[in-house]
Amino acid sequence: GSFFFFFSPGEGIPAYETPPHTVELLSYRIGKFFFSNRHYAAFLKQVKTQEDPKRSGWFLREPPQAKLDHPVVGVSWHDACAYCAWLSEKTGRVYRLPSEAEWEKAARGSDSRRYPWGEAWAEGCCNVGGNDTTPVDAYPAGASPYGCLDLLGNVQEWTCTLWGSQPDAPAFGYPYDPHD
């Protein structure tokens, strides 16, 4: 169905996130949680050529034991895609990174709310302001209308939408093109 991006230029809204426009999305499914260190460790045990996550406490292909249910960090876009390909092969179902528009709809619902949980900021709905990750299920009050967690705070997410090589300047800007 249709999904409306409503960002307008203004304070805190980068120009590359505008103008407001409607995007048509095909039906899709999205995971409720990020993949965790526990899940990524299973992948590494079977795919011996895959490197450990960088700078995140992994040692000899083992995640930090106190962070098994935290989201995996220190993986590249290619690493995340390799995990999705492996999971697809293991399960016989297709897994991939969501597009930016799919991720945004999962986070903001069909009513384009400001935060996954609603229009107003609410303490205790996400991990922000800290310097460490939290378990993927630590903030159930922050669930989006579709039941997805951690779509604000905790870690940055990868999508399959083309961006470019500069972190702060997309080479493929709005309006969103589903063929990018």
DSSP 3-state assignment of 57?
coil
- Label residue 78 exposed, middle or buried (CB < 10 Å: 0-12, 13-18, 19+): exposed
Which helix (DSSP H) or strand (DSSP E) does residue 4 occupy? Answer: strand 2-5
Whole-prediction pTM: 0.85
Q: What is the mean pLDDT of the chain?
A: 87
At 32-54, the pLDDT tens digits run 999 999 999 999 999 999 998 98
Q: What is the mean pLDDT of residues 88-105?
A: 93
Confidence of residue 19 (pLDDT cuts 50, 70, 90): low
- In single-letter form, the type of residue at position 173 comes to G
**Residues 12, 84: Cα–Cα separation, whole Å:** 33
Least confident of 47-51, 133-137, 176-180: 176-180
Where residue 57 falls (left for φ over 0; alpha for ψ -120 to 50; beta otherwise) is: left
